Copies of this chain bind each other. A is one copy, B any other.
Amino acid sequence: MTDSNDKPLSSSQRAVHELRQMILTGQLAAGTDHLESELAAHLGMSRTPVREAALLLESKGLLEMRPRKGVRILPVSPDDMREIYDVLTELESLAAQRAAEAGYGPKDLTLLTESLHRMEQALEKDDLEAWAEGDEMFHSELVRLGGNKRLQDIVSMMIDQVRRARSSTLFMRPKPLKSNEDHRVVLQAIRDGDADLARSRHHQHRQQAKDVIISLLEKHRLRQL
Contacts and interface: CB of A to CB of B under 8 A. Distances in A.
A150 B83 contact: yes
Nearest to A53: B55
A104 to B, nearest CB: 18
Contacts of A148: 83, 86-87
A122 to B, nearest CB: 30
Number of copies: 2
Contacts of A55: 52, 55-56
Most interface-central of A55, A94, A150 (chain B CB within 10 A): A150
A56 B55 CA distance: 8
A212 interface: no
A177 to B, nearest CB: 28
B52 A86 contact: no
Contacts of A98: 86
Contact of A87 (B59, B91, B93, B158): B91
A60 B60 CA distance: 10
Interface string A78-95: 000001101100110110
Nearest to A12: B55
A132 to B, nearest CB: 23
A149 interface: yes
B151 A154 contact: no
10 contacts: A52-B55, A59-B59, A59-B60, A83-B151, A86-B151, A87-B150, A90-B90, A90-B91, A91-B91, A150-B158
Interface of A: 51-52, 55-56, 59-61, 83-84, 86-87, 90-91, 93-94, 98, 148-151, 154, 158
